[in-house]
Structure 1
Amino acid sequence: WMWGGFAVDNATLVRFFSLHFLVPFVIAGMSVLHLLFLHETGSNNPLGLNSDGDKVPFHFYHTVK
């Protein structure tokens, strides 16, 4: 499918260009999905328990410190 024939011709170049054009958008979409799921579950919470009680807000605590 990718090769398109025995010579590098128009079909091969069109297929390679379309794949080369679409792959960054696919990677960006997968990265956005990954960040959304990471934001929902948290990055260090394998049990799925609520861990908001032991968090310290960054602003004001660390900026004053």
Structure 2
Amino acid sequence: LFLAMHYTSDTMTAFSSVTHICRDVNYGWIIRYMHANGASMFFICLFMHIGRGLYYGSYTFLETWNIGVILLLATMATAFMGYVL
């Protein structure tokens, strides 16, 4: 929410609003980088969780595994939309 208060999604002013967040907002630069690195860490933990499930054979519980795959695809779609927008 904090980043959204200062961000403008207009194509002409989007870059300048990111520059404004990094330079003019108090601790805006650290919040922006924590947001970016936090998203990367979320996906690292997600892929480690999938790897653990593959290692321990959790895919034998088909209903649970299918729900996890659906959640993975929904998370990837949400991340893609956040990256594109």
- Bigger radius of gyration among the two: 1
| Greater RCO, CA 8 A, separation 6+ | 2
Structure with greater proportional helix content: 2
Q: TM-score, normalised by structure 1?
A: 0.48
